[in-house]
Structure formats: C-alpha cells, structure tokens
Amino acid sequence: MKKVAVLGSGSWGTALAMVLADNGHDTRLWGIEEHVVAEINNNKTNTHYLPEGVVLPNGITAYTDLSKAVEDVELILFAVPTKAIPSVSKQLSETVTRPVSIVHVSKGIEPDSLLRISEIIEMNLSDKVMKDLVVLSGPTHAEEVSQRMITTICATSINSDAAEHVQEIFSNNNFRVYTNNDVVGVELAGALKNVIAVCAGILSGMGFGDNAKAALMTRGLSEITRLGILMGASPYTFLGLTGLGDLIVTCTSVHSRNWRCGYQLGQGKNLDEVLENMGMVVEGVRTTKAAYQLSQKYNVEMPITETLYNVLFNGADVKSSVETLMGRTKKHELDDMNVLINN
C-alpha cells in the first residue's frame, strides 16, 4: 500500500483517486471547493463532477489543506487544469520536505511561453521535492473510469523505472497501463488532440456527418504529427494510445468538453457564451493559441489549427472558414510527412 495524494477534486482527479483506492492505496484528494470536499468525505460521492450513482471507495479522504493532503505521501498526482499548474506546483515546492514521485495528467500547452506541463512542473519543483516525473495520458473519460469501465492509458517518463512504478501502482483489471519514454510526443499529442476535438464538435454542430469527421481526424493527426516530429517526438507515438487513441475518444464522444464546446460554436453561439455554459475548463481553447504559436515558431503547416485560431481569437465566420479550408491548394496526401520522417 502506498500513500498517494491527488491534486484536483474534479472529474478526472476523483476518478483516478478511485482507481488508486480500489488498488488498496491510502489516497488523499485535494481540492479548493469546500462543498465538493465535504461531499466526498461525508457522502462518498462527487455529484458535481461524476455521474449519478457513482460511489467512492472508503480509501479516499479529501482535503482543502494542501499540506495535510501531501503529508508523508510517496507519490503526488497533478490533476488540475493547465492554467493552475504553475501556482499549484509553486505551492507544492513550499510544502513538500522530501523527494516524492510526481505524476501529471493535465493536457495542455502554456500560450506565449509554449511550455509543456512537465517543463512547467520542472521549473517549479527542485530535486529536493521531485524524485522523478511521469506523464499519465491516453484515451480516457473520467465518467467511464469512475464507473470502472475498461480503460487503457500510458505512463510515460524518460526514467523507465519511474514509468514502471506508476504502471504498477495504477494497474488493475479495469485500468490497464502501458509504458512509454517519449515525453515530448505524449504531451504534444494529449494537448493538441483537444484542438482537433473542438473542430470535430463544430462540424457536428453545423450538421456535417461521419465523412467530415473522419477527414478532420485523419488530417488533424497529420498536422499534429508534423509538428511533433519537428519538436523531437517519435512519429510512432502519434499512432498509439496517447495519439490516435486519445484523438478518437475526444473527437467522437459527448463526454468530451472540447467536443461539446465546438458543437455549440457550430450551432452559432459565441465563444464567451459557450465557455460560460460549460461550467468546466475547456483546455482546447487555450491550447489552440499555443498550438498556433508553435506552428509559427517551427514554420510548420497546420491549416486546421490556424483555421480554429482565427475563429476563436480573430472573429472569423465558422461557415466561411470551413469553406476556405476545403478550398485550399490541392496536394499529395503525404506531402511533407515522408521528408520529416526520413530526416
């Protein structure tokens, strides 16, 4: 049995806390919403974030006090929104007194700085606090994990022992964990698929069907891979669970906040209205800005990302933007990709 702290009492943090508690670990769940923490401790439910009828295991105790939540733990899991990673990791650096294993499940890229999540954490946590760092990512919806439905995911680290340690802690009959060592590829894939998922929602909201969805996902994966290769990622990562797998689940499910956000945009609602209605963070919106900035930095063609960026941040009309995207100069399907992979 391990002592583990999960930072973030939203849907994903709570679902992963359930996995850990099911595996017999002493699981502490930290959150900033007092009513959520009280409900978890008193009722063993989290009805604001998880489906009705989900009952949490007895091995979970929730806290609003970070220092109490992480006291004497061996592993700390970040399950907070991307924009909260800098502040939470700084708080943690002032609280933890000995090296612990750090895992994160956040999927995003910080605009302007263009830092990946692991880079932000590494900036704020010294070796005195962080023993090793693992990314846990894959095709997962918290709603299904909390209902103990079959799920697969990857534990990724440059330290193979650390990845295997996380694999052992989280694995059970419902939750199968693979390992990987391509941190750059896994983090990029996890973040950028949210951009494509917003676009998938837009197409559905506009009334387009499966043909359009298949085209978007395939060409979206192509431009994510182009950028990833230029940033040092393995092209094979984008064909695995954290790439293609996560793209499929996020672009095709109503559980996806990014898809739901796009769906409302496709129906003609404005972005501010949509975000206000969502009630939870839509990572794909913020990541679209970072993705566009990365495409400019690395001079890589990402037409889907650029189109969404113009819709979200420059007021471009959705219908006209789709027509412009479809009317681009004709080209060979594998232009650029063969050159990038071979080099």
Active site residue 193: yes
**Catalytic: which of 44, 90, 131, 193?**
193
Cα dihedral 238→241→244→245 (10° resolution): -170
Q: C-alpha 326: how far from its chain's center?
A: 29
95, 67 contact by CB (below 8 A): yes
First to last CA, the chain: 46
Torsion of CA 259, 264, 267, 271, to 10 degrees: -120
Q: Are strands 75-78 and 60-63 parallel, antiparallel or unpaired?
A: unpaired
What are the residue ranges of helices labelled H in the chain? Answer: 11-22, 34-43, 66-69, 85-93, 117-124, 142-146, 160-170, 183-205, 210-230, 246-252, 257-266, 271-278, 283-297, 303-313, 318-326, 337-342
Buried b / exposed e along 153-172 (16+ C-beta atoms within 10 A): bbbbbeeeebbebbbebbbe
Would you say 191 and 109 are in contact if contact means Cβ atoms under 8 Å apart?
yes
Residues forming the active site: 193
